[in-house]
Each structure stands twice: as C-alpha cells, then as structure tokens.
Structure 1
C-alpha cells in the first residue's frame, strides 16, 4: 500500500513538473512571437537609441567603406 502511494505521488509530481515546463515553454514562445510583431513609435525608438553613439558608428562605417573602396580601386589598377 505504501509503495502504491509513493508511486502515485511520484507520478503526480512528475506530471506537475512536466506541465509546468510546458507552460514555461509556451510563455517563452508567446513572448518571442509577440515581441517580433510589436511596432515602435518614433518616440519609443528615440528613448532606447543612443543617437550620438549611432552617429559615431555610422561615421566609422563610412570611413571603413571609403577606405575599403580605395583599396579595391588600387587593387584593380595593379592588374
């Protein structure tokens, strides 16, 4: 009788854990799904984007591309 009770308790604990894990997985999926569908207003984006840093990065990328373009042109001239 005691073994039967332990077996029932173990099954119910395992079932509870399994159910809880499935609910967590569903919640994670829903969070991911809805976060991808969310659109942001210009005001919301302005609050989260560091405009100064973004401009610095854009300037660096422009310099890099300019230098790369120069190297490519020099490479083409050597052939």
Structure 2
C-alpha cells in the first residue's frame, strides 16, 4: 500500500516539474518576443554602441571579405574557370 502511494506521489512530482518547465519555457519565449519589439531612439543607440569598436570590427570584416574574394579568384584561376 505504501509503495502505491509513493508512485502516485512521484507521478505528481514529475507532472509538477514538467508543468513548471513548460511555464518557464513560455515565459522565456514571451520575454524574447517582447524584447525584440522594443525600438531604440537614435540617442539610445548612440549611447549603447561603441562607435570606435564598431568601426574596427567593420574594417576587420572588410579585410576578411577582401581576402576571401582574392582566395576565390585565385582558386578559379587555378582550376581553369
């Protein structure tokens, strides 16, 4: 009799945990959804974005793309295309 009650309790606990996890997942999704809906004013963006670092990253990406493009051109020449 006692083992039957334990299995019922275990199922209840497992169901409770599953329900709680589903609620957390829903809350995370809602938070993500609503955070994407917020727009920033130009003043907020200016305050948030490190312009110097952004320019450095853009220069690095430009250099990477140039190198990639040169590599593709060299590859095409070597394959006869």
Which TM-score applies when normalising by structure 1?
0.66
Contiguous gaps of at least 5 residues in structure 1: 70-79
Quickly say closer, same or farther: Cα 1:10–1:53, change in 2 above 3 A: same
> Please, which moves more after superposition, 50-59 or 10-19?
50-59
Quickly say closer, same or farther: Cα 1:67–1:3, change in 2 above 3 A: closer
Shift of 1:59: 4.5
Superposed, which structure 2 residues align to 1:2-41 within 5 Å? 2-41=2-41
What is the CA–CA distance in structure 1 between the aligned matches of 2:68 and 2:34, rounded to whole Å? 40
Pairwise CA RMSD: 2.7
Contiguous gaps of at least 5 residues in structure 2: 70-81
1:74 is aligned to none
Which TM-score applies when normalising by structure 2?
0.64
Shift of 1:67: 8.5
Query: How many residue pairs are counted as aligned between the two chains?
Result: 70
